[in-house]
Structure 1
Amino acid sequence: MSESRLLGSDAPLFTAFDTALVDLDGVTYRGPHAIPSAPPGLAAAREAGMSVVFVTNNASREPQTVAAHLTDLGMPASVGEVMTAAQAVAALMLESLDKGSSVYVVGGAGLRTAVAEAGYDIVDSADPAPDAVVQGFSPDVSWRELAEASYAIRAGARYFASNKDLTIPNERGVAPGNGALVNVVVTATGVVPPGAGKPEPAMFRLAAAKADAKRPMVIGDRLDTDLKGGRAAGFPGLLVLTGVDGVREAIMAPPTDRPSFLGRDLSALAVPHPAPVSEGDRWRVRGATAWVDGGELHVDESEAGPDGLDGARAACAAAWAAADAGHEVRVEVTPGVEVRSTHG
């Protein structure tokens, strides 16, 4: 498992690591629009020799649809460079459910295709008493589908979920995710399904295997899915500030969810990253310093560095060290917050 602290890299990340396992929503695009820094950031990484695999918890779309969407947004991608939660849950099902078993699918075309390609017989209601139910995100999921899933599960069907994200970001804000809809079925049945998508480590390992990665890194905007899953898989993670979580959330993150690197956006792949240095009870990143006194986090970020995040890096180091030693940490002022970007 990667260390529960910020790391440093004297070389740009796109040369220090051979493969980027990149989240989609909040990292490369938001809804129908690319985050402006994403296409040039990924193009520079590819030019430097870095492989890219796009890893998404969205199980509604087929890999070719995801690849076409990315290509249309200026980020050329092939089908083989996409790993969806639908593919991951199909792999999970194969570990304990025989091929040829009947499965009721709640979700979009991507999930139905992945389940069918895994060798399962898809049924359209609970009446045939299916062997299993699998649920993935789709904006078109209806009450009827949730009810059919509940009937089948209460009758003895196995239950699987592509992922359990409670929310999903889009161009209008934050909306309920697959986890919220899974909880509807859990409420009706009392059965909690295993999930295959992030933050489960298997999805990242499958994605790394696609690229034959030797030194992969995870890039995401969510600590509790992207960064937690990457850390569980043993891969360092870069938190970018173009989506759900920001500097404050990183500072307060538990050890399981902490990133290894901080960046404004995907342009962070093209630069070295300074490592925090311990100086007594203070932590320094270049000209920025942070410390915890009386439970309160203090930051001197008068020299915040080229990307404005050195104070945030020092703050993470100081806060994590204090929290791991059992001390309270309060964050009254969030360092680097002025560079938090919602548009890339």
Structure 2
Amino acid sequence: MKNYKAYLIDLDGTMYRGNERIAGAAEFIDELNRFSIPHLFITNNSSSNPEEVASKLTDMQIKAEKEQIFTSSMATARYIHTKNPDSKAYVIGEQGLFDALAKENIEIVTHSADYVVMGIDRFITYEKLAEACLQIRNGASFISTNKDKAIPTERGLVPGNGALTSVVAVSTGVEPVYIGKPEPIIMEQAIQKLGVPKEEILMVGDNYQTDILAGLRANVDTLMVETGVSSYVSIKENHQQPTYLVGSLEEWKIHKVL
């Protein structure tokens, strides 16, 4: 096992399920801090801003600073800004997505948008979906923060943003640009933010289809934990396997980097 110089760490299913902390999560982060190993919490959850995510972790006794949070909303906003800093966006989502777009000075509009941007929206309505379809048919580019079909909560798996996005994609016949894991956009931005060569980074997560594939596609080593979506049984026939697989973070030993 390598001694990794930096970590990218998923949240839902890895650090917590809904509002329940997962066993070993706090101790895992304590060990990273004890050895001064830089790490980012990288999440497809677009609903919260970095301050809220850090506060949630802290409330669970998992040490985190807002600067260590990297969300699909942040990656989406940066992506749009690099394409055209004067872009206008019609947005379906929650406060975290609106905050991220505002920080990149992306104008939020209800018509004549350059982009339709979709993130998880637990207050989704037919009218929001209808307007998104109309905007895309009028020429707006289609972006989705992530393609997660389901997300783990303390209640079990519930519909994710990918499920909502599919409604608009099917209706318009337009496939969106996805930003979050396993797509390369969010990984490239996160690796750049860490400032560590990718061969020295370990991606940690519970979902093979998002976290592990993100690492595999980015040529980053991966550690899969069986505390969320995926299990050994569910992935054992897959051609590409995670670099490491453990039942929980309690089984993973962190070593000081010399």
1:87 aligned to which of 57, 68, 74: 74
- 5+ residue gaps, structure 2, are none
Kept in 1, the 8 Å contact 2:29–2:63? The answer is no
Q: Secondary structure at 1:163's aligned position in 2?
A: coil
Does 2:203 match 1:218? yes
Per-residue CA deviation, residues 19-77 of structure 1 (Å, 9 max, x unaligned), is 11010010000001101211112212221232221000011111110011001111111
TM value normalised by structure 2: 0.93
Residue 23 of structure 2: which of 36, 46, 50 is its match?
A: 36
Q: What amino acid maps onto 1:107 in structure 2?
A: G
* Residue aligned with 2:12, SS: coil
The whole-number CA distance in structure 2 between the counterparts of 1:69 and 1:210 is: 22
Give the Cα–Cα distance (whole angstroms) in 1 for the partners of residues 134 and 27 of structure 2.
Answer: 49
Distance 2:181 2:133 in 1: 24
Structure 1 unaligned regions, length at least 5: 1-8, 273-344
Amino acid of the structure 1 residue aligned with 2:26: P
Cα pair 1:22 1:53 within 8 Å, conserved: yes
1 CA distance for matches of 2:187 and 2:253?
A: 22
Match of 1:249 in 2: 234
2:102 to 88, 100, 116: 116
Match of 1:155 among 133, 138, 144: 138
Contact 1:202/1:233 (CA < 8 Å) preserved in 2? Answer: no
Residues 103 and 133, structure 1, Cα contact 8 Å, conserved in 2: yes
The alpha-carbon deviation at position 88 of structure 1 amounts to: 1.1
Q: Secondary structure at the match of 1:218?
A: strand
Aligned alpha-carbon RMSD (Å): 1.5
Task: Output aligned runs, 1:73-152, within 5 Å.
Answer: 73-96=60-83, 98-123=84-109, 125=110, 128-152=111-135
- For residue 267 of structure 1, report the CA deviation from its aligned partner: 2.3
Residues 201-245 of structure 1: per-residue CA shift (max 9 Å, x gap): 231232232232231110000111100011111110000011111
* Match of residue 173 from structure 1: 156
* Cα drift, residue 100 of structure 1: 2.1
Separation in 2, partners of 1:48, 1:138: 38
The share of aligned pairs that are identical, in percent, is 35
Structure 2 distance, partners of 1:224, 1:101, is 31
Residue 58 of structure 1 pairs with residue 54 of structure 2: no
Q: CA deviation at 1:269?
A: 3.1
Paired residue for 1:202? 185
Letter aligned with residue 249 of structure 1: S
Contact 2:152 2:229 in 1 (8 A): yes
Whether the 8 Å contact between 2:81 and 2:87 is mirrored in structure 1 is no
TM-score (norm 1): 0.71
Classify the secondary structure of the residue corresponding to 1:230: helix
Moved over 4 A (4+): none
Distance in 2 between the 1:130 and 1:205 partners?
A: 27
Alignment match of 1:227 (pick from 209, 212, 222): 212
Q: In 2, Cα distance between the equivalents of 1:49 and 1:250?
A: 33
Tell me the CA shift for residue 271 of structure 1.
6.0
Q: Kindly tell me: are residues 271 and 94 of structure 1, through their superposed partners in 2, closer, same or farther at Cα, counting changes over 3 Å? A: closer
Matched position secondary structure for 2:224:
strand
